[in-house]
Amino acid sequence: MKIRTFAAAAAIAALAITATGCSGGTSNSGSSDGGGKTLTYWASNQGTSLDNDKEVLTPQLKKFEEQTGIKVNLEVIGWNDLQTRIQTAVTSGQAPDVLNIGNTWAASLQSTGAFMPFDSAAFDAIGGKDKFVKTAMDTGGVPGQDPTSVPLYGLAYGLYYNKAMFKDAGLTPPTNWADMVADAKKLTTGGKYGFALAAGSYTENAHFAFINAAQNGADLFSADGKPTFTSDGVVDGISRYLDLMQADKVVNVGNAQYDNGTKAVNDFAAGKVAMILNQNNADSSIVANGMKNDEYGVVAFPAPAGAKDVASHVAGINLSIFKNTKNKDGALKFVKFMTSPETQTALGKPFASLPVLAGAKAVFTDNVEEAKTFSDIYANKSKPLPLVPSEDQFESTVGKAMNQMFATIASGGTVSKADIKTALTTAQQQVEAAG
């Protein structure tokens, strides 16, 4: 009898663990104090490490405290955790007052209704909508509604290349896709590879699914926000990107396990690969890894001949205010401070970001040519990711499907266009089911 009781108790306990397992998740320490004298701020990782971010931001926050008397409690959150932390904050209401979001999530997070919309009064309080570059401001939320975020740091993808390796092989930086592949093939010799890709990172993969599809003129969502992942343009675009590893063999198959951009950057800085695709904030990491600024060059990510000249999405970090903040005035003051020309200039260099203020100059690098290239990509060759509520689901479903495609290729299999279409059909059904 005793055994039976024990067994039953054990079974109940184990089942209870199952049932409650879902409600665990990340614990949340963010809280907003009642008084008007403090603010909680969640910053994303922009510098070379979380500690580096803290070092860079703290003097600015001190300055803000001197100006307004408001103390800012800073927490820097890594990219692997940021989305989950925001999710938990939205769900529980235990949220910071002001936070960083990836600008591609803006429309998705707007649809949760947890963020404060910037109406004209709020914009007046932070210095007007017109102070921002229009391309950047357009990422603030769904078109036609009051945006729930404003731009903070501007980013764009560029093709970083190792000058010495190109020179030794007698090559010039590529200007179209075919050239880039030919160069990469030439440079893939003697244990070195033409390219490193963060092929195990779903966000990176999703971005390049979008960019390659955009080069083919294909859209991921219809005008009414329904996913259209399975069109030929999207399939061809993804296939072209996968072929860097599959058909062209210019990427080490080991890259299928690179689950963030840093690993590719390390390979590049160590001279193991000739090219990487990264956003401009890679600059600080490359230099921190020992490669000098004049040892690498940057050109726009090239499109195939005759395709649309899209080299990047409009990347960047936006600032949002949680709707239930108890210190709305203080939060607005803080947003104004963070987007002021002085703070932007002070943070532009350590975080290697592009200016989001109209008329401001890029200060992230002393290399005039590089600054010009990135500014040109950002202003003229970037297309915003779809500003629809399901955008984040595009990133997670298509991005993860591409992780698996790279994994298949890396472990010796092949991924045909039909396989890509099947995987995208699955992704599309998942997004539709959640929508």
- Footprint (CB under 8 A) of another protein, residues 184-243: 200, 202
The answer to whether 384 touches 318, Cβ cutoff 8 Å, is no
Q: Is residue 270 part of the contact set for another protein (CB under 8 A)?
A: no
Q: Is residue 435 part of the contact set for another protein (CB under 8 A)?
A: yes
Minimum distance from residue 18 beta carbon to another protein (Å): 5
C-beta closer to another protein: residue 90 or 287: 90
Minimum distance from residue 412 beta carbon to another protein (Å): 8
d(CA 434, CA 416): 28
C-beta closer to another protein: residue 256 or 347: 256
Minimum distance from residue 168 beta carbon to another protein (Å): 25
- Footprint (CB under 8 A) of another protein, residues 375-404: 389, 392-393, 396-397, 400, 403-404
Q: Is residue 164 part of the contact set for another protein (CB under 8 A)?
A: no
Strand partners, 419: none
Q: Is residue 247 part of the contact set for another protein (CB under 8 A)?
A: no
| Cα-based torsion angle of the residue sequence 394, 400, 404, 405 in order, rounded to the nearest 10 degrees | 30
- Alpha carbons within 13 angstroms on the beta-carbon side of residue 361 total 7
Q: Is residue 87 part of the contact set for another protein (CB under 8 A)?
A: yes
Determine which residue in the list 61, 152, 238, 256 makes contact with another protein, applying CB under 8 A. 256
C-beta closer to another protein: residue 60 or 426: 426
Give me 42's structure tokens.
């969640």
Q: Is residue 27 part of the contact set for another protein (CB under 8 A)?
A: no
Binding segment for another protein among 116-124, 211-219, 240-248, 422-430 (CB under 8 A)?
Answer: 422-430
Determine which residue in the list 231, 343, 345, 408 makes contact with another protein, applying CB under 8 A. 408
Determine which residue in the list 72, 197, 347, 410 makes contact with another protein, applying CB under 8 A. 410
Q: Is residue 262 part of the contact set for another protein (CB under 8 A)?
A: no
Minimum distance from residue 121 beta carbon to another protein (Å): 22
d(CA 308, CA 410): 30
C-beta closer to another protein: residue 49 or 429: 429
Minimum distance from residue 170 beta carbon to another protein (Å): 30
Beginning with the edge strand found earlier in the chain, give each strand of the sheet holding 193-196 in spatial order: 193-196, 273-279, 157-162, 296-299
Rounded to a whole number of angstroms, the distance between the first and last alpha carbons of the chain is 51
C-beta closer to another protein: residue 111 or 135: 111
The total of other beta-carbon atoms located within 10 Å of residue 393's CB is: 20
Determine which residue in the list 29, 31, 172, 257 makes contact with another protein, applying CB under 8 A. 257
Give me 319's structure tokens.
């600032």
- Footprint (CB under 8 A) of another protein, residues 98-137: 108, 111-114
Give me 406's structure tokens.
């790279």
Q: Is residue 143 part of the contact set for another protein (CB under 8 A)?
A: no
Using CB under 8 A as the binding criterion, the count of chain residues that bind another protein stands at 57
C-beta closer to another protein: residue 56 or 109: 109
Determine which residue in the list 65, 146, 259, 419 makes contact with another protein, applying CB under 8 A. 259
d(CA 138, CA 134): 6
Binding segment for another protein among 17-25, 63-71, 186-194, 326-334 (CB under 8 A)?
Answer: 17-25
Minimum distance from residue 7 beta carbon to another protein (Å): 5
Minimum distance from residue 407 beta carbon to another protein (Å): 4
Q: Is residue 169 part of the contact set for another protein (CB under 8 A)?
A: no
CA neighbor of 434 nearest in space, from 225, 207, 139: 225
Binding segment for another protein among 64-72, 80-88, 116-124, 279-287 (CB under 8 A)?
Answer: 80-88
**Binding site residues, another protein, CB under 8 A:** 3-4, 6-8, 10-11, 14-23, 25, 80, 84, 87, 90-91, 93, 108, 111-114, 200, 202, 254, 256-257, 259, 389, 392-393, 396-397, 400, 403-404, 407-408, 410-411, 413, 425-427, 429-431, 433-435
